[in-house]
């Protein structure tokens, strides 16, 4: 393994063309807003400041998107600074096709989360906004970091605001849910840390790029892969590690559930793409049958559990297990189709499940119940709401013309190319998804007719659901722009894996 | 200038000696706060001093000076954390500060001692002062008597073992000077006598650090002593203990497998025991005692790496440990109404009663648990890395698993203060100087977490 290759890898980071630390700005803008809010006394002013901070951050990330070059697989907008020279820890940032959309997703959802909590959070709004914005900083940081320690710090730092979101503003069993969430994820993370230190001792640096695409011994790869995979599988969550998820999702406030489902879970699958595959390609292939089995079990198990749920939020939470199963299935099919599908499904799940949680939040604010039977028969009373809810439900079970259809097709094609049986079982899971979503829809729309008077969605609520609905359509009808951006980076990943295998 | 810090703290104690025999005993606390701050800032002048005294038995170098500054800073912070309402009878206050000062003096002398007898003497100076102030507590019950007796006995036993070990060292090298022992000792480390000499000698410092198996005193003393005394005993002597541990294990370079194995076993037991027993504690001070035992175990990971980086990591960790531990104790001191102990249940609703205090508790608890971006994480990272680098993967894994176990009870503190609601929670008003101190702790813990390189470089250079 020559040093030249490593040097070439370092050159993959294209330094910033703008001569301005645009990624750092994106990361730390929300933190700045959060600190501003700490100084404020007036609740209205806090809300507006928080929302505007979110919007500005989104605008900055849009700027990233429009200046993003799709003709290269290199990392872009790079930043590099020494941080802890003794241990060769650096502050290295950069984004590529895998991360750009995850950042956009995060920045898009942050203002939406603030908007959806406008009236539903009754107390301690200051701390709530602070947690949301700090978490946004940490999440963007995770996706931008190209230094393992920096990545780990953002990855862990995000636990604290999420824990507080559940523990302070959560539902009746918030205590249990928040601790379970924290301990589960932390358990995975310490193994991640050990793997990171092992990589450091092997490379003398924490650079993600130097760590990737090196020819490690099979034993080393196996251990590193397992340590990484425990952390990521808990975060995703894959089948046997999923038990923290329903509790955390159900007890979290709406904004927390949205962030949790839409972005936090993606950090796990992102980890597989960014670390497991490139750093331990041989081990990835060796363990792929196991991962695929777990994914398929997750898809089918999640589907069956969803069928028996009576709590809307819990149903959507369990459907996440199934949906994320598709993502990991795509990743470990090791085909370009599968990887692209996984990437698309990460986005789609973020949008669709986020939107569904928002919908549940809207109805919970009105009826204070998440039980399906308490909220039955809304078809006549809340037509606009049902319009949105129905639309997102269609998207959730991959109705053609919606975003999930595109993603699932990619994943399924990729899987069928490699593993016929897994592909077939995944199709069964997709059918299950239709079953439980339609069952939910049927109850909500046509169930027992009620004489209650419930106000339909107001303008604020329409405003924050509309962009998500538009995305669902756009992606469902014309996915080409999305695929174009992620294609280069993923095919590069494929070539590298082949080279080192 | 050479012994300016020692002189300062000595004068501080003498001043309070005179106050204690005079009749003027008003405003003692204000004096103590003002003068201790003065002592700290005046001593800063001598950070860069270096030299030797008493024919080489007492070495002043960057290493000892930084440790002295940390000890003085800790001493100063403890004085500032002292609450008028609680704990010590007013008539004993001058003596209290006098002995506190003498104890700090002994600890500072320890960091400079490079000769066995001066090590013993300075260790005893600090311990005897603590024996005196331990039973001082307003609400006289039995527990502080028991605590002080335990501290005395265990202290005496560990000193005895230490001197026993030192006699072996003397027998090996025919000298009490560390610089004479250094060249000879590694040759003996493959024999039982060398390992025993070193381990027994270290026992005295294990006692100060409350490392397994010398940890028995700590939970009872933490529980029995008054809150401020506990704050001091639980934090500041550990600095000196760590300093001496670094100085003495440097003798053992490059180390022998037997010696390292013993340290590994001690570290593993210490963290596992501390964290497991910590899980069931109700009294916060007791909990912090077990957390201290666990942290002594983490600290040993850096020591047993037997490398410069490892020692620098120990240095860094003990510094951040001082801040996060003091911060935790500060919450206890402020919460306790009349100086009694605080249980975990008393934390309920803290985030409503005083958001700042709850934040301080959360930051320090997360730091003790080692969650980024706090200093506790960065320090632990350095420790893990140096142990890993020295090839001790098992202890790193044990440490990692222990981190997860410890989360339960650290998180429990945060959980009680944030997610438990009490209907009748009266707000807790903090005075200006209390607020400043809270912000200072939060700042220091986050600063050491996010921007560690400057301090780490200084620590590394000093070793």
The rounded Cα A448 to chain-centroid distance in angstroms is 36
pLDDT in tens, B157-203: 999 999 999 999 899 888 989 888 888 888 888 888 888 888 898 88
Judge contact between B295 and B375, C-beta under 8 A: no
pTM (2 d.p.)? 0.91
pLDDT at B3: 85
When CB atoms are compared, the residue of A86, A168, A182 closest to B418 is: A168
Instruction: Provide, as residue numbers in chain B, all residues whose Cβ is less than 8 Å from the Cβ of A39.
Output: none
Mark yes or no for CB contact A178/B415 under 8 Å. Answer: yes
Predicted local confidence at residue B121, as pLDDT? 92
Q: How many beta-carbon pairs below 8 A join chains A and B?
A: 83
Q: Which of B211, B296, B308, B315 is nearest to B254 (CA)?
A: B308
- Interacting residues of B432 by C-beta distance below 8 A, sequence separation 6+: none
Q: Which residues pair with B60 in a beta bridge?
A: B51
Q: What is the mean pLDDT of each run of 10 residues along chain A (501 residues)?
A: 45 65 91 91 89 93 88 84 84 89 93 89 87 93 92 91 89 87 89 90 86 85 92 89 89 91 92 90 91 93 90 90 92 91 92 93 86 81 88 90 91 90 90 90 79 80 91 90 88 82 65
Nearest CA in chain B to A169: B419
> pLDDT tens across B70-109, in order?
999 999 999 998 876 667 777 888 888 999 999 999 999 9
Question: Is there a contact between B401 and A198 if contact means CB atoms under 8 Å apart?
Answer: no
The vertex-B400 CA angle with B399 and B403, nearest 5°, equals: 85
Among A472, A329, A334, residue whose Cα is nearest residue A408: A329
pLDDT confidence bin for B140, thresholds 50/70/90? low
Contact A157 B372 (CB under 8 A): yes
Residue of B nearest to A158 (CA): B372
Q: Residues of A with CB below 8 A from B373's CB?
A: 153, 157
Q: Which of A153, A163, A175 sits opposite B373 (nearest CB)?
A: A153
Which candidate from A149, A179, A194 shows the least CB-CB separation from B396? A194
What is the arithmetic mean of pLDDT over B267-281? 91
- Residues of chain A in contact with residue B447, where contact means CB-CB under 8 angstroms, are none
Predicted pLDDT at A374:
81
Our CA-based measurement puts residue B379 at a distance from the nearest CA of chain A, in whole angstroms, of 12
The residues of A whose Cβ lies within 8 A of any Cβ of B are: 82-87, 127, 149, 152-154, 156-157, 159-160, 163-164, 167-168, 170, 174-175, 178-179, 182-183, 186-187, 190-191, 193-194, 197-198, 200-201
- Contact assessment for residue A272 and residue A226, using Cβ atoms and an 8 Å cutoff: no
Q: Which two tokens stand for residue B330?
A: 């500060």
Nearest to A160, CA basis, from A138, A190, A140 = A138
Taking an 8 Å cut-off on Cβ atoms, the answer to whether A186 and B401 are in contact is: no
CA distance B432 to chain A (A): 17
A130 touches A163 (CB < 8 A): no
Backbone angles phi, psi at A90, to 5 degrees: -120, 165
Nearest chain A residue to B308 by CA: give it. Answer: A86
Verify whether the Cβ–Cβ distance B384 to A193 is below 8 Å: yes
Using CB atoms, which residue from B366, B400, B419 is nearest to A193?
A: B400
From A127, A154, A183, residue closest to B407, measured CB to CB:
A183
Nearest of B307, B312, B255 to residue B463 by alpha carbon:
B312
* pLDDT, mean of residues B102-119: 92
Alpha-carbon span A296 to B408, nearest angstrom: 33
- List helix spans (H) across B134-216: 143-173, 178-188, 192-209
Contacts of B414 in chain A (CB under 8 A): 163, 167
- pLDDT value at residue A4: 43
A186, A193, A201 ranked by CB distance to B407: nearest: A186
Residues of A in contact with B377 (CB under 8 A): 153, 156
Please name every residue paired with A79 in a beta bridge, in sequence order, or none if there are none.
A93
Q: Chain B closest CA to A234's CA: distance in Å?
A: 14
Q: Hey, of B381, B389, B390, B421, which one would you mutate to test binding to chain A, going by the most A CBs within 10 A of its CB?
A: B381
Query: Do residue A175 and residue B366 have CB atoms under 8 angstroms apart?
Result: no
Cα–Cα distance for residue pair B378/B387, rounded to 1 Å: 14
- Contact (Cβ atoms closer than 8 angstroms) between residue B363 and residue A134: no
Residues from chain A contacting residue B351 (CB–CB below 8 Å): 168
Q: Are the Cβ atoms of B419 and A87 closer than 8 angstroms?
A: no
Using an 8 Å CB-CB cutoff, list chain B residues near A87. Answer: 382, 385
Which pLDDT value is given to residue A3? 39
Give the number of residues written for chain A.
Answer: 501
Compute the C-alpha angle A49/A50/A55, nearest 5°.
Answer: 95
Query: B197's torsion region: left (phi>0), alpha (psi -120 to 50) or beta?
Result: alpha
With beta carbons under 8 A apart, name residues in chain B contacting A145: none
Band of residue B320 on the pLDDT scale cut at 50, 70, 90: very high
| CA–CA separation, A386 and A382 (whole Å) | 6
- Per-residue pLDDT at B101: 92
Residue A348 to chain B, least CA–CA distance (Å)? 30
Closest Cα of chain B to A215: distance in Å?
21
**Which residues, 6+ apart, have CB-to-CB distance to B31 below 8 Å?**
B19
Spatial contact of A223 and A198, defined as CB atoms under 8 Å apart: yes
Note whether A242 and A261 are within 8 A (CB).
no
Question: Is A167 in contact with B418 (Cβ distance < 8 A)?
Answer: yes
List CB contacts (< 8 A) between B410 and chain A. none
Q: Measured between CB atoms, which of A156, A167, A201 is closest to B372?
A: A156
**Considering only CB atoms, which chain B residues are within 8 Å of A193?**
381, 384, 400
Q: Is the Cβ pair B411, A193 closer than 8 Å?
A: no
- The whole-number pLDDT of residue B422 equals 77
Predicted confidence band of residue B337 (pLDDT cuts 50, 70, 90): confident
Report phi then psi at B177, rounded to 5: -85, 135
- Please name the residue that has the structure tokens 């340590």: A227
Residues of A in contact with B366 (CB under 8 A): 160
Kindly report, residue by residue over B408-430, the tens digit of the pLDDT.
Answer: 889 888 888 888 777 777 888 88
pLDDT, residue A1, reads 35
Q: Give the residue on B whose Cα is nearest the Cα of A180.
A: B408
CB contact under 8 A, B415 and A179: yes
From chain A, pick out residues whose CB is under 8 angstroms from the CB of B385: 87, 197, 200
Q: What is the 3-state secondary structure (H, E, C) of B332-400?
A: HHHHCCCCCCCEHHHHCCHHHHCHHHHHHHHHHHHHHHCCCCCHHHHHHHHHHHHHHHCCCHHHHHHHH
Smallest Cα distance from B354 to chain A, Å: 13
Hey, of B271, B298, B412, B419, which one would you mutate to test binding to chain A, going by the most A CBs within 10 A of its CB? B419
Contacts of B396 in chain A (CB under 8 A): 194, 197
Rounded to whole angstroms, how far apart are CA atoms B329 and B314? Answer: 22
pLDDT for A375 equals: 80
Distance from CA of A183 to the nearest CA of B (A): 7
ipTM value, please give it.
Answer: 0.88
Give the residue numbers in B contacting A (CB under 8 Å), as ranges.
309, 312, 351, 355, 362, 366, 371-373, 377, 381-382, 384-385, 388-389, 396-397, 400-401, 403-404, 407-408, 411, 414-415, 418-419, 452-453, 456-457, 460
As given in the structure block, the two tokens for residue B122 are: 């300075």
pLDDT in tens, B348-396: 888 888 889 999 999 999 999 988 889 999 999 999 999 988 888 889 9
Q: What's the average model confidence in pLDDT over B286-308?
A: 91
* Closest Cβ opposite residue B371 in set A159, A175, A191: A159
CB-CB neighbors (< 8 A) of A187 in chain B: 404
Question: What is the predicted pLDDT for the residue at A342?
Answer: 93
């Amino acid at each position: 393994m020559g040093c030249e290759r490593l040097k070439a890898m370092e050159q993959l980071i294209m330094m910033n063309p703008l001569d301005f630390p645009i990624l750092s700005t994106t990361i730390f803008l929300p933190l700045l807003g959060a600190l501003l809010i700490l100084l404020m006394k007036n609740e209205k002013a806090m809300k507006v400041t928080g929302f505007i901070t979110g919007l500005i951050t989104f605008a900055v990330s849009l700027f990233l998107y429009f200046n993003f070059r799709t003709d290269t697989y290199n990392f872009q907008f790079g930043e590099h600074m020494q941080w802890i020279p003794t241990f060769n820890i650096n502050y290295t940032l950069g984004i590529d096709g895998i991360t750009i959309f995850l950042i956009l997703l995060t920045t898009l959802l942050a203002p939406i989360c603030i908007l959806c909590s406008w009236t539903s959070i009754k107390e301690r709004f200051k701390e709530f906004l602070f947690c949301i914005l700090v978490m946004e900083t940490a999440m963007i940081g995770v996706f931008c970091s190209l230094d393992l320690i920096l990545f780990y710090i953002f990855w862990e730092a995000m636990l604290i605001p999420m824990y507080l979101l559940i523990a302070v503003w959560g539902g009746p069993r918030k205590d249990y849910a928040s601790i379970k969430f924290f301990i589960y994820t932390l358990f995975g993370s310490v193994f991640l840390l050990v793997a990171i230190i092992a990589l450091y001792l092997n490379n003398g640096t924490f650079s993600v790029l130097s760590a990737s695409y090196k020819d490690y011994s099979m034993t080393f790869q196996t251990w590193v892969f397992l340590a990484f995979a425990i952390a990521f599988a808990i975060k995703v969550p894959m089948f046997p590690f999923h038990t923290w998820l329903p509790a955390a999702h159900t007890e979290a406030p709406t904004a927390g559930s949205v962030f949790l489902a839409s972005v936090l879970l993606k950090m796990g699958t992102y980890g597989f793409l960014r670390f497991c595959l490139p750093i331990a390609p041989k081990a990835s292939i060796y363990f792929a049958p196991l991962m695929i089995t777990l994914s398929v079990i997750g898809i089918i198990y999640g589907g069956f559990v969803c069928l028996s749920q009576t709590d809307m939020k819990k149903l959507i939470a369990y459907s996440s297990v199934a949906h994320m199963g598709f993502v990991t299935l795509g990743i470990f099919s090791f085909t370009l189709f599968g990887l692209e599908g996984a990437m698309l499904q990460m986005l789609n799940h973020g949008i669709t499940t986020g939107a569904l949680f928002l919908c549940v939040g809207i109805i919970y604010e009105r009826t204070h119940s998440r039980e399906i039977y308490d909220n039955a028969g809304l078809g006549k009373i809340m037509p606009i709401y049902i319009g949105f809810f129905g639309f997102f439900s269609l998207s959730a079970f991959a109705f053609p013309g919606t975003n999930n259809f595109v993603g699932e097709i990619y994943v399924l094609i990729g899987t069928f190319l490699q593993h016929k049986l897994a592909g077939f079982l995944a199709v069964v899971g997709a059918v299950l998804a239709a079953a439980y979503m339609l069952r939910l829809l049927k109850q909500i729309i046509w169930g027992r007719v009620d004489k209650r008077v419930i106000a339909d969605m107001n303008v604020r609520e329409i405003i924050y659901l509309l962009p998500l609905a538009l995305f669902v359509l756009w992606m469902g009808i014309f996915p080409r722009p999305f695929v174009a951006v992620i294609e280069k980076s993923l095919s590069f990943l494929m070539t590298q894996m082949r080279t080192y295998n | 200038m050479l012994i300016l810090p020692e002189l300062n703290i000595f004068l501080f104690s003498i001043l309070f000696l005179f106050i204690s025999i005079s009749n003027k005993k008003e405003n003692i606390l204000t004096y103590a706060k003002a003068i201790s701050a003065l002592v700290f800032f005046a001593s800063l002048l001598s950070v860069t001093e270096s030299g030797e005294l008493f024919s080489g038995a007492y070495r002043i170098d960057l290493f000892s000076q930084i440790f002295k500054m940390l000890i003085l800073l800790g001493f100063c912070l403890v004085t500032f954390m002292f609450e008028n309402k609680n704990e010590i009878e007013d008539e004993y206050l001058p003596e209290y500060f006098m002995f506190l000062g003498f104890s700090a003096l002994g600890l500072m002398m320890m960091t400079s001692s490079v000769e066995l007898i001066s090590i013993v003497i300075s260790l005893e100076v600090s311990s005897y002062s603590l024996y005196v102030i331990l039973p001082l507590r307003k609400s006289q019950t039995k527990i502080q008597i028991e605590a002080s007796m335990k501290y005395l006995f265990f202290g005496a036993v560990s000193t005895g073992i230490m001197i026993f070990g030192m006699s072996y060292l003397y027998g090996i090298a025919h000298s009490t000077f560390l610089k004479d022992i250094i060249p000879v000792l590694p040759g003996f480390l493959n024999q039982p006598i060398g390992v025993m000499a070193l381990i027994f000698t270290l026992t005295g410092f294990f006692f100060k650090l409350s490392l397994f198996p010398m940890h028995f005193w700590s939970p009872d003393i933490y529980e029995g002593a008054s809150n401020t005394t506990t704050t001091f005993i639980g934090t500041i002597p550990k600095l000196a203990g760590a300093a001496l541990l670094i100085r003495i294990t440097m003798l053992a370079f490059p180390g022998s497998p037997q010696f390292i194995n013993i340290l590994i076993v001690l570290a593993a037991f210490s963290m596992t025991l501390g964290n497991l027993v910590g899980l069931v504690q109700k009294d916060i001070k007791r909990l912090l005692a077990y957390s201290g035992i666990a942290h002594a175990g983490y600290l040993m990971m850096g020591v047993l790496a037997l490398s410069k980086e490892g020692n620098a990591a120990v240095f860094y960790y003990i510094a951040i440990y001082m801040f996060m531990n003091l911060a935790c104790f500060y919450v206890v001191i402020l919460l306790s109404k009349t100086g009694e102990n605080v249980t975990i249940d008393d934390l309920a609703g803290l985030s409503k009663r005083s958001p700042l205090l709850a934040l301080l508790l959360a930051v320090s608890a997360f730091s003790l648990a080692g969650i980024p971006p706090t200093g506790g994480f960065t320090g632990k990272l350095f420790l893990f890395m140096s142990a890993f680098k020295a090839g001790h993967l098992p202890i790193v894994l044990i440490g990692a698993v222990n981190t997860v176990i410890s989360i339960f009870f650290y998180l429990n503190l945060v959980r009680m203060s944030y997610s438990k609601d009490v209907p009748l929670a009266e707000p807790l008003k903090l005075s200006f100087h209390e607020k400043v101190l809270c912000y200072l702790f939060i700042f220091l813990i986050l600063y050491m977490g996010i921007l560690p390189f400057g301090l780490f470089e200084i620590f590394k250079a000093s070793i």
